[in-house]
Chains A and B, each alone.
Chain A
Amino acid sequence: MTDMAFKADPAPTQRWWQRRAVRRFLRHRLALFGLAIIVLLVLACVVGPYLLPFDDLYIDLRARFAPPLTGSHIFGTDPLGRDLAARLFMAGRISLLVGFAAMLISTVFGSLIGILAGYYGGKVGAVLMRFVDAMLSFPSIFLLLALAAFIKPSPIMITVIIAATSWMEITRIVEAEIKSLRERDFIMAARTLGLSNGQIMFRELLPNAMGPIIVAATLTVARAILLEAYVSFLGYGIQPPLPSWGNMLNGAQQYLDSAPWLAIVPGVAITLAVTGFNFVGDGLRDALDARSDIA
């Protein structure tokens, strides 16, 4: 083999930052709309609490169950007279943070397993992927609930548990991607050059699989926010007085008739956030690969 062989292999796949993908993303109206929602929500949660005249934990028993737009309570108050807007923004910090952190953990872990399984293949790959299949056919909400209910739930624990039930999709995607990339000429070149397995996996293969990983990661944030809402709604997630969008809904059902805003406001926030991430994920998928619209 001569040196020529190494030069003959230009960028093997479209990388996500390449101009075409960016342009296609920017043309995707839904995706831009989703991005705008996310930016606005994050801004509101970061800056909002400083702009409001109320603290999220300040209890005012004379102002219990104030409907939205009462005085300066734009979203009204809860059964303890706490300002709902202040709680919503503080809760958003927790919910979004849990969503992002769970996404990070599950993406890193899921990609790692996927790379190992895809690169080594054979028995190691088969065993790893069977494990992923087993985890996928496990009804994760029950695992989540059982773990959260019987282990003392701290925000970090909840994040880890959510991540533990969300990494499998990413592993599947990465494994498939790595498997097909592994056969390309540039990997052959890398091997011939004497790169170590680690270098090939993380310097050569990983950057080329970034597109699908980013799409999956975006959708994982949406999923993680929903899962947090599910467990917290049942009372096993984030524990009060720390507010989260999910636990704000816990207890809202009993006031559904008298104070419907208690249910509507946090639910709209969750829906907006999850919709935003799903729109962006959808747009990224369309932008990065027009063909694979299959979830």
Chain B
Amino acid sequence: MSQTHGAHDPATAEEESAIAGTSLLPRIAGRFGKTLFSLVVTLFGLLVVTFAIARLVPIDPALAVVGPRATQAQYEAVRTEMGLDQPIPVQFATYLGDVVRGDFGRSNLTSRPVIEDVRSAFPATLELATLATLLGVLLGVPAGVVSAVNQGRWPDHVLRVVGLLGYSMPVFWLGLIALLIFYGQLGWVGGPGRLDVSYELSYELDVTAYTGSILIDSALSGAWDVFFNALTHIALPVFVLGYFSLAYISRMTRSFMLEQLGQEYVTAARVKGVPERRVVWVHALGNAMVPLITVIALSYAALLEGSVLTETVFAWPGLGLYITQALFAADLNAVLGGTVVIGVAFIVLNLLSDLLYTVVDPRAR
């Protein structure tokens, strides 16, 4: 199989010559160590930023606890108890320790530990983002291939415009308009929330929370009426987010495919008499999939971000809605805790895509 080098390949020339001749495992290990290092650095940066925000905002955490009518002595006592009289580096070290132990403090809004709130909200976001990414891959990759094969002709133009529109529409606005048309006017789908109100009770009674994902849980519990109702509710946000991810994935697929189709091995395969369909969908796409994995992981991470606004519009009880509601209530612990968790998910996805890249890269074999 021919070797192809993408312009986006993160491995530099020195790296390549250094690892030439080594087998797959040490290479992954080396890559892993390097990535792990940058992961730690990035994580540290993330925590510095959240800590800085917490100290910079004009909200006095001690005052927020004791209230405006507390005496000076009470206020001082709470300040000492919260460690706010310590020097900033000490406070930061304490914060680091807390975060490592998963302690993000208590939410003023729900008066539960932030980590518990996050744990119950995260599966809903994950469910949404996963289905949307699936949709984006299933439609976006073929769209990108068709676009590349027909470069400059009308299918390419149509698909590119559709893609660019997905890039350009505010995702929350698309959600609003979709709600207006498909829920308000046509009544094809369920409205905001995860279930109709009439199904809430049977959800409580019949569905065991195995995973926190409403579709999986209701299917596992055999509560098919709940499952189908949930399906009508999740469809719209999934399509809205999926369109967004489709736009990105199809665009990247197109350019990777164009690059592959210009390579010599494609010509060679054609000359050999390999059917054109096989050349495009097996040979070229196979090689284009290598960089595409990174793109898919990135778009998955971007959907975690996009979920903030989508969840707000669709009243979807995930992390995004949790963070926006915490923002409205000036609930600093919840906002920063949620941000750190999303940030960690983001960084871990980056790491995973990097590792997968090493595994599937044909040069590693």
Q: Which residues of A contact B (CB under 8 A)?
A: 30, 130-131, 133-135, 137-143, 145-147, 149-152, 222, 226, 229-230, 233-236, 249, 252-253, 256-257, 260, 263-264, 267, 270-271, 274-275, 278-279, 282, 292-295
B342 pairs with A139, CB closer than 8 A? yes
Asked if B360 CB lies within 8 Å of chain A CBs, one says no
Asked if B146 CB lies within 8 Å of chain A CBs, one says no
B309 pairs with A146, CB closer than 8 A? no
Of A134, A230, A275, the contact of B45 (CB 8 Å cutoff) = A134
Can you list 18 pairs linking A and B with CB atoms under 8 Å apart? A30-B164, A130-B38, A131-B45, A134-B45, A137-B346, A138-B45, A138-B46, A142-B308, A145-B308, A150-B56, A226-B168, A229-B173, A253-B176, A256-B180, A257-B180, A282-B164, A293-B254, A294-B8
A142 pairs with B312, CB closer than 8 A? no
Chain B residues within 8 Å of A253, by CB: 176, 313
Chain A residues within 8 Å of B335, by CB: 142, 145-146, 149
| A139-B167 CB under 8 A given contacts A30-B161, A146-B339, A294-B7 | no
Distance in Å: Cβ of B336 to nearest Cβ of chain A = 7
Asked if B4 CB lies within 8 Å of chain A CBs, one says no
The distance in angstroms between the C-alpha atoms of A141 and B309, with both chains bound, is 10
Asked if B187 CB lies within 8 Å of chain A CBs, one says no
The residue on B at minimum CB distance from A145 is B327
Chain B residues within 8 Å of A295, by CB: 251-252, 255
Chain B residues within 8 Å of A137, by CB: 42, 343, 346-347, 350
| A150-B59 CB under 8 A given contacts A145-B308, A230-B172, A267-B170 | yes
The distance in angstroms between the C-alpha atoms of A235 and B309, with both chains bound, is 12
B350 pairs with A271, CB closer than 8 A? no
Asked if B323 CB lies within 8 Å of chain A CBs, one says yes
B305 pairs with A139, CB closer than 8 A? yes
Distance in Å: Cβ of A156 to nearest Cβ of chain B = 17
The distance in angstroms between the C-alpha atoms of A63 and B44, with both chains bound, is 55
The residue on B at minimum CB distance from A275 is B168
Of B173, B323, B328, the contact of A142 (CB 8 Å cutoff) = B323
Chain B residues within 8 Å of A278, by CB: 164, 167-168
A150 pairs with B177, CB closer than 8 A? no
Residues of B250-271 at the interface with A, using a CB-CB cut-off of 8 Å, are: 251-252, 254-256, 258-259
Asked if B304 CB lies within 8 Å of chain A CBs, one says yes
Distance in Å: Cβ of B315 to nearest Cβ of chain A = 10
The distance in angstroms between the C-alpha atoms of A226 and B5, with both chains bound, is 34
The distance in angstroms between the C-alpha atoms of A274 and B166, with both chains bound, is 11
The residue on B at minimum CB distance from A228 is B170
The residue on A at minimum CB distance from B184 is A257
Of B164, B258, B313, B350, the contact of A279 (CB 8 Å cutoff) = B164
Asked if B143 CB lies within 8 Å of chain A CBs, one says no
Chain B residues within 8 Å of A140, by CB: 305
Of A138, A149, A233, the contact of B172 (CB 8 Å cutoff) = A233
Q: Which residues of B contact A (CB under 8 A)?
A: 7-8, 38, 41-42, 45-46, 49-50, 53, 56-59, 157, 160-161, 164-165, 167-170, 172-173, 176-177, 179-180, 184, 251-252, 254-256, 258-259, 301, 304-305, 308-309, 312-313, 323-324, 327-328, 330, 332, 335-336, 338-339, 342-343, 346-347, 350
Chain A residues within 8 Å of B179, by CB: 256
Chain A residues within 8 Å of B161, by CB: 30
Of A141, A222, A279, A292, the contact of B308 (CB 8 Å cutoff) = A141
The residue on B at minimum CB distance from A147 is B53
Of A152, A256, A271, A275, the contact of B176 (CB 8 Å cutoff) = A256
The residue on B at minimum CB distance from A150 is B57
A263 pairs with B53, CB closer than 8 A? no
Of B49, B312, B342, the contact of A234 (CB 8 Å cutoff) = B312
Chain B residues within 8 Å of A270, by CB: 169-170, 173
The distance in angstroms between the C-alpha atoms of A270 and B165, with both chains bound, is 11
B165 pairs with A275, CB closer than 8 A? yes
The distance in angstroms between the C-alpha atoms of A144 and B176, with both chains bound, is 22
The residue on A at minimum CB distance from B39 is A137
B49 pairs with A143, CB closer than 8 A? yes
Of A230, A260, A282, the contact of B170 (CB 8 Å cutoff) = A230
The residue on B at minimum CB distance from A148 is B327
A142 pairs with B342, CB closer than 8 A? yes
B327 pairs with A149, CB closer than 8 A? yes
Chain B residues within 8 Å of A146, by CB: 50, 53, 327, 335-336, 339
| A151-B57 CB under 8 A given contacts A134-B46, A253-B176, A279-B164 | yes
The distance in angstroms between the C-alpha atoms of A137 and B302, with both chains bound, is 10
Of B49, B58, B323, the contact of A145 (CB 8 Å cutoff) = B323
Q: Supply 12 further A-B pairs (C-beta < 8 A) apart from A147-B53, A229-B170, A295-B255.
A: A30-B161, A131-B45, A134-B45, A139-B305, A146-B53, A222-B168, A230-B172, A236-B327, A249-B170, A267-B173, A274-B169, A294-B8
Distance in Å: Cβ of B240 to nearest Cβ of chain A = 13
B7 pairs with A292, CB closer than 8 A? yes
The residue on A at minimum CB distance from B301 is A139
Chain A residues within 8 Å of B184, by CB: 256-257, 260
Chain B residues within 8 Å of A150, by CB: 53, 56-59, 330, 332
Chain A residues within 8 Å of B7, by CB: 292, 294
The distance in angstroms between the C-alpha atoms of A295 and B50, with both chains bound, is 29
Chain B residues within 8 Å of A235, by CB: 328
The residue on B at minimum CB distance from A292 is B7
B336 pairs with A263, CB closer than 8 A? no
Chain A residues within 8 Å of B330, by CB: 149-150
Chain A residues within 8 Å of B347, by CB: 137
Chain B residues within 8 Å of A263, by CB: 173, 176-177, 180
**Residue in B42, B252, B347 with the greatest tally of chain A CB atoms within 10 Å:** B42
A233 pairs with B45, CB closer than 8 A? no
The residue on A at minimum CB distance from B8 is A294
Chain A residues within 8 Å of B259, by CB: 294
The distance in angstroms between the C-alpha atoms of A133 and B347, with both chains bound, is 11
